Amino acid sequence: MTTQYHIPVLLEASVQGLNIKPDGVYVDLTFGGGGHSREILKKLGPEGRLVAFDQDADAWENAPDDERFILVKHNFRYMQHFLDYLGFQQVDGVLGDLGVSSHHFDSPERGFSFRFDGALDMRMGPGIDLTAAKIVNEYPENKLFSIFKMYGEVPSCGKLVKSILAARNEVPFKTTTQLRELAQGVAPRKDVNKFLAQVFQALRIEVNKEMEVLEEVVMQMPKVIKPGGRLVVIAYHSLEDRMIKNFIRSGNFAKTQPETDFYGNRQVPFKAVTRKAVQADDAEVKENPRARSAKLRIAEKL
């Protein structure tokens, strides 16, 4: 299962970006198939430790049998709480691969992909009451419009929303096939699959509150990461990448100038290690097409 669960994106560049010390303590926010975690463990010595987070029970089966490894079976929004509980007040680096695993997309019953027929669910883990079906069946017009516009950057999303409202009055949405067939009817002829991917992406982000969770965990980084430690994030969505970029640049999520002290020195918790986002080369994209949209940013704690 481990080899097929998920192909890690930008594996070498992201792990190198952590600048691993053999006796350091590191965090993998998104364990998944364990690709990044296993690479980190290769570089750790006997005294090193790796704490990984994943709320998906399917991922837990991939946990390596290694005394240096600790798997926290919860959402990474609780990072600081669990690190405190484990006795790690600060760590030497945090890696976050924000992409949805290949396993999720390839599991019809999870409802993440328009390629398969399944329940319109999209929940990444337990404890989440909201489903994609609940959103399309119950959200008001303005809220649906906002979700598809912001999280999916769906073109002509007003037309999509009106079609959803009309259809759900006749028959409630229950399956991915129902939504796919409706969305195909309003999709641009040139790029139907891209349109469908944007629609499903928007719903997934809303179901799992991905932007809220990311904001929460990023705001924990200045306290959790030691001076000289690294923050390494791989983002796949423009909103996520912009959030990380702005945080590194100014210490907040708005596109504003960073605060300065009395002498005009920038008051930011991190400095960028790479001037631009690192992206996958043609060879990696050919092997793993999901790497195409990935953007890696690396920052060091001041």
Q: Show the domains of the chain with their CATH numbers.
A: 2-102+211-301 (3.40.50.150), 129-207 (1.10.150.170)
Residue 208, CA distances (Å) to 7, 199, 228, 267, 274 in order: 22, 15, 32, 32, 30
Confidence of residue 136 (pLDDT cuts 50, 70, 90): very high
User: Counting Cβ atoms within 10 Å, is residue 254 exposed (0-12), middle (13-18) or buried (19+)?
Assistant: exposed
SS3 26: strand
Residue 187 vs residue 107, higher pLDDT = 187
21, two tokens: 């010390």
Amino acid (one-letter) located at 86:
L
Residues 6+ apart with CB under 8 A from 36: 8, 11, 14, 15, 28, 30, 95, 97
Question: What number is the average pLDDT over the span 208-214?
Answer: 95
At 278, give phi and psi (nearest 5°).
-85, 135
Q: Is residue 72 predicted with pLDDT exceeding 80?
A: yes
Strands (E), 209-301: 225-235, 270-272, 295-301
Sign of the four-CA dihedral 162, 117, 110, 235: negative
How is residue 176 written in tokens?
């991915």
39 φ, ψ (degrees, to nearest 5): -70, -40
* Encoded tokens for 97: 């691969």
The pLDDT assigned to 102 comes to 57
| Cα–Cα–Cα angle for 162, 167, 171, rounded to 5 degrees | 155
Does position 2 have pLDDT exceeding 60, yes or no?
A: no
pTM metric for this prediction: 0.90
Phi then psi dihedrals of residue 90, to 5 deg? -140, 155
Q: Which two three-digit tokens encode residue 146?
A: 């906002």
The span from the CA of 270 to the CA of 60, in Å, is 32
Could you report the per-residue pLDDT of 219-268, keeping only the tens digit for each?
A: 999 999 999 999 999 999 999 999 999 999 999 887 666 666 666 567 89
Q: How much helix, strand and coil, in percent to the nearest 5, is found in the chain?
A: 45, 15, 40
Instruction: Please check whether residue 141 is in contact with residue 158, taking contact to mean a CB–CB distance below 8 angstroms.
Output: no
* Tokens of residue 164, six digits: 């959803």
pLDDT tens-digit readout, 82-130: 999 999 999 999 999 997 765 555 566 676 788 889 999 999 887 789 9
Sequence-distant (6+) residues with CB within 8 A of 89 are 83
Q: Say if CB 147 and CB 122 are below 8 A apart.
A: no
Residues of the chain with pLDDT > 90: what percent?
81
